[in-house]
């Protein structure tokens, strides 16, 4: 295990087997950052400071949250610009000041607008009805209110784009308000008073399938209306943030209600937000979305995670670019971390070796192939908690079968062999498995 300690150890899940990663792909003229004002902006003077840093570090697009989406201070639904519709948080207009400063530096500003998660709107009488729906808005009853906020922004500010967030439902049993149930019942010829969606869900019935189709069609209909105003009439780019729920097939997880196959005509791009799922899902998700959506796909990455980018995105062949964000003030160090990661990641070609292949792996046969294909990095698994693939004195009970059947340390032997052949070696360790 001595040599392993000299090897870069990255704690994350598994990445794609064989591919290249370039975080600058599609962003050769710069990159994008996402700013959450409640974390990054305390005074109006913070805005030109952040823009100056962004400009010096080759940022070409800022995705600015103009309405609170989650958290408690301020409440979701409070906005960060001078609104006549929703309550405001600052005594100055964050959106106006950001646009003014950013456009001086030729930086575009996209406004991120959380839509149907809005405590302010829910308390106005637009609340969604159903389990675990607190803070969520019914699209049918609350759409006009939410659209009025979007209209206020696109008509009053020179934004370069709009990004919709929380454009969906709390879960697939929402919304069961009278308006939604009556419309569903009328469309499919069922009795609203006798409808029990919990039972339909348990039975995975035909009616349950129709319910989920109905929800996705409702969201698509509202998205079409917004697209007409934003893209067609105002000629402004429109994107939507998609949570990691439906990237293979809509019916695998219908909680959010967005069917990606249906929205392609109404948005210019989608943004994938990982939201705590294992890092291995990033490439799987973006590649899966590309089968359902022909437009550009971006991925958000938290600054604290960027050290893993060269591995996590190694299989994200269909990712147009990365949007970097953080839950703390933007500083020179923030951009330094991003720039370092981008520089280090552009020349990495990686292949992954699963621990199950240790005994069957013919390195002498594979190494020439890897070298011919310009592979310079090999990722190997050290196991998981209580099932480790290396010898660790005092932890014999946690040894995997690989270690138990080996005379030495299989992980160390593999690392030594690969390093002798000139490869960089990255060891992964899965924390998400028992």
Do 337 and 355 have their domain in common? Answer: no
In a domain, 433, yes or no: no
Closest to 88 in 3D by CA, of 77, 102, 97:
77
Lowest-confidence pick of 108-122, 147-161, 181-195, 345-359? 345-359
* Percent of the chain scoring above 90 in pLDDT: 51
Q: What is the mean pLDDT of residues 66-88?
A: 94
* The pLDDT value given to residue 136: 97
In a domain, 434, yes or no: no
* Percent of the chain scoring above 70 in pLDDT: 82
pLDDT of 11 above 60: no
Lowest-confidence pick of 4-8, 43-47, 297-301, 415-419? 4-8
pLDDT of 198 above 80: yes
Residue with the larger pLDDT of the pair 276 and 75: 75
Q: Which domain holds residue 370?
A: 4-10+350-428
Q: What is the mean pLDDT of residues 351-372?
A: 72
* The pLDDT value given to residue 356: 57
In this prediction, residue 9 has a pLDDT band, given cuts at 50, 70 and 90, of very low
* The pLDDT value given to residue 276: 60
Closest to 327 in 3D by CA, of 52, 136, 70:
70
Do 180 and 236 have their domain in common? Answer: yes
Helix, strand or coil for residue 132? Answer: coil
How far apart are the two ends of the chain, measured CA to CA in Å? 22
Q: What is the mean pLDDT of residues 82-95?
A: 97
* The pLDDT value given to residue 16: 35
Residue with the larger pLDDT of the pair 304 and 324: 324
In this prediction, residue 347 has a pLDDT band, given cuts at 50, 70 and 90, of low
Residue 291, token pair as written in the block: 């089968």
Lowest-confidence pick of 57-71, 250-264, 363-377? 363-377
Measure the CA dihedral 373/379/381/384, to 10°. Answer: -140
Residue with the larger pLDDT of the pair 5 and 389: 389
> Could you tell me which residues come within 8 angstroms of residue 109 by beta carbon, excluding any fewer than 6 positions away?
61, 62, 64, 95, 98, 99, 102, 103, 159, 160, 161
pLDDT of 332 above 90: yes
pLDDT of 122 above 80: yes
Do 142 and 275 have their domain in common? Answer: yes
Closest to 214 in 3D by CA, of 241, 166, 167, 182:
182
Q: What is the mean pLDDT of residues 161-176?
A: 95
Number of domains in the chain: 2
Lowest-confidence pick of 66-70, 192-196, 229-233? 192-196
In a domain, 16, yes or no: no
Helix, strand or coil for residue 352? Answer: strand
Q: How far apart are CA 231 and CA 237, in angstroms?
A: 6
Do 74 and 207 have their domain in common? Answer: yes
Do 41 and 169 have their domain in common? Answer: yes
Q: Classify the C-alpha dihedral 75-79-83-85 as positive or negative.
A: negative
Average pLDDT of the chain is 84
Do 355 and 307 have their domain in common? Answer: no
- The domain boundary, picked from 290, 325, 344, lies at 344
Residue 74, token pair as written in the block: 């301020």
> Could you tell me which residues come within 8 angstroms of residue 248 by beta carbon, excluding any fewer than 6 positions away?
288
In a domain, 70, yes or no: yes
- The domain boundary, picked from 293, 324, 344, lies at 344
Q: What is the mean pLDDT of residues 374-396?
A: 83
pLDDT in tens, 203-250: 999 999 999 999 999 999 999 999 999 999 999 999 999 877 656 677
pLDDT in tens, 132-155: 999 999 999 999 999 999 999 999
Strand ranges across the sheet with 8-10: 8-10, 424-428, 377-381, 348-353, 18-21
- Pairing label, strands 18-21, 348-353: antiparallel
Question: DSSP assignment of 145-186, as one string?
Answer: HHHHHHHHHHHHS--SEEEEES-S-SSTT---SHHHHHHHHH
Q: What is the mean pLDDT of residues 379-406?
A: 83
In a domain, 333, yes or no: yes
Do 238 and 114 have their domain in common? Answer: yes
CATH of the domain at 97: 3.20.20.80
- Pairing label, strands 321-325, 348-353: unpaired
151-157 long-range contacts (CB < 8 A, ≥24 apart) are: 151/229, 152/83, 152/84, 152/85, 153/66, 153/81, 153/95, 153/111, 153/113, 154/229, 154/230, 154/234, 154/236, 157/81, 157/95, 157/96, 157/99, 157/111
* The pLDDT value given to residue 289: 82
Do 242 and 186 have their domain in common? Answer: yes
Q: Is the distance from CB of 171 to CB of 243 less than 8 angstroms?
A: no
In a domain, 15, yes or no: no
In a domain, 371, yes or no: yes
Do 214 and 334 have their domain in common? Answer: yes
* The pLDDT value given to residue 354: 62
pLDDT in tens, 274-285: 766 655 566 667
Do 359 and 387 have their domain in common? Answer: yes
Do 132 and 203 have their domain in common? Answer: yes
Do 213 and 128 have their domain in common? Answer: yes
pLDDT in tens, 251-272: 777 889 999 999 999 999 999 8
How many CB atoms are located within 10 Å of the residue 416 CB?
Answer: 14
Q: pTM score, two decimals?
A: 0.77
- The domain boundary, picked from 288, 311, 344, lies at 344
* The pLDDT value given to residue 19: 40
């Amino acid at each position: 295990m001595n040599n392993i300690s000299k090897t870069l150890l990255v704690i994350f899940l598994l990445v794609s087997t064989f591919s290249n990663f370039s975080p600058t792909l599609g962003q050769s003229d710069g990159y994008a950052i996402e700013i959450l004002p409640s974390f990054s902006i305390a005074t109006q003077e913070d805005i030109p400071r952040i823009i100056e840093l962004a400009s010096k570090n080759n940022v070409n697009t800022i995705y600015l949250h103009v309405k609170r989406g989650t958290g408690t201070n301020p409440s979701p639904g409070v906005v960060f610009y001078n609104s006549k519709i929703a309550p405001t948080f600052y005594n100055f207009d964050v959106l106006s000041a950001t646009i003014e400063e950013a456009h001086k530096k030729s930086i575009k500003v996209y406004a991120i607008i959380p839509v149907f998660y809005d405590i302010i709107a829910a308390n106005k009488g637009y609340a969604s009805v159903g389990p675990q729906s607190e803070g969520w808005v019914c699209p049918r009853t609350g759409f006009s209110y939410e659209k009025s906020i979007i209209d206020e922004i696109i008509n009053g500010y020179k934004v370069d784009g709009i990004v919709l967030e929380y454009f969906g439902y709390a879960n697939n049993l929402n919304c069961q308000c009278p308006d939604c149930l009556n419309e569903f019942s009328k469309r499919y010829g069922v009795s609203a008073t006798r409808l029990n969606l919990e039972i339909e869900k348990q039975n995975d019935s035909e009616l349950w399938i129709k319910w989920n189709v109905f929800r996705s069609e409702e969201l698509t209909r509202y998205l079409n209306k917004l697209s007409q105003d934003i893209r067609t009439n105002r000629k402004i780019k429109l994107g939507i943030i998609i949570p990691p729920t439906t990237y293979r097939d809509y019916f695998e997880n219908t909680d959010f209600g967005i069917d990606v196959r249906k929205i392609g005509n109404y948005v210019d791009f989608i943004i994938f937000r990982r939201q705590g799922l294992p890092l291995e899902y990033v490439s799987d998700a973006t590649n899966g979305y590309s089968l359902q959506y022909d437009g550009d796909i971006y991925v958000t990455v938290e600054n604290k995670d960027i050290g893993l980018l060269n591995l996590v995105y190694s299989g994200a062949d269909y990712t147009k670019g990365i949007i970097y964000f953080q839950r703390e003030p933007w500083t020179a160090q923030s951009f330094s971390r991003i720039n370092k990661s981008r520089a280090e990641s552009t020349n990495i070609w990686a292949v992954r070796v699963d621990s199950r292949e240790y005994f069957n792996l013919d390195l002498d046969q594979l190494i020439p192939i890897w070298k011919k294909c310009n592979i310079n990095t090999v990722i190997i698994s050290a196991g998981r908690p209580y099932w480790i693939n290396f010898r660790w004195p005092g932890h014999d009970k946690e040894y995997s079968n690989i270690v138990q059947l080996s005379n030495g340390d299989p992980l160390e032997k593999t690392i030594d062999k690969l390093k002798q052949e000139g490869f960089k070696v990255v060891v992964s360790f899965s924390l998400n498995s028992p």
